[in-house]
Amino acid sequence: MPSNTPCLEVAISITKEPTDFEKLQQQAHRDLTAFPGFISGLALRNLEDEATHADLILWASEASALSAAKSIQQDERFASFMQSIESVTHFAHYSGASLEAMNQLAKSPVIEITAYKTMLESNVTELRSLIYKALRSIEGASPQVAGTCIDNASALLDLIGWQDKMLPETAPGMLMKNQPEVESFFSNIGDIDVKALFEVAT
């Protein structure tokens, strides 16, 4: 990955004490702003499970993201935050994000995070472009990040903003009806690591 390409860190965790965690999460995000390469961050909480939280951190490069991840483990400012986590269910770095996308997601009442594998070996970029174009025609949908894991090109990430939590349930059927050519993409989805709805934690 070129050094000037933004890198999105996605961490999803189960917390020990949800109420206390949100305060620690907000402080951790404030402390992250001092790290070299930090661009933007979103602290999220799951709509259905108060113990599940997500952190989206946009770094200037893969190098700055990896450096920060290593430094946090030894930085006392993050000790309480790390200790408040019961388990980490997903942690990966992706290309395909931007500051504009992060700002748009922050405005969405509902943010869908889907991390999954694709079994397709070709036309992945083209099919995802068609899907995102079709999504933009759906009222209340705001597709923002079509990410690809920096360590595994078959591991993909979709970050989509929605106006309400019912839309993600009906959107796939609408996409298949309006863009039948994307059927091969959906039929070749492999393991789904994450598929959940979040909101910005304030």
What is the distance between the alpha carbons of residues 96 and 165, in angstroms, rounded to a whole number?
Answer: 24
**Residue 46 three-state SS:** strand
C-alpha distances in Å from residue 130, one per residue of 37, 176, 184: 32, 11, 12
- What residues does 57 pair with on adjacent strands? 9, 41
pLDDT tens-digit readout, 42-87: 999 999 999 999 999 999 999 999 999 899 988 999 999 999 999 9
pLDDT of residue 18: 84
Going 177 to 179 to 181 to 186, the CA torsion angle's sign is negative
What is the pTM for the complete model shown? 0.94
Which alpha helices (DSSP H) does 139-189 contain, by range? 167-178, 183-187
Instruction: Identify the pLDDT of residue 3.
Output: 52
Residue spans of the chain under pLDDT 70: 1-3
State both tokens at 160.
Answer: 């989509």
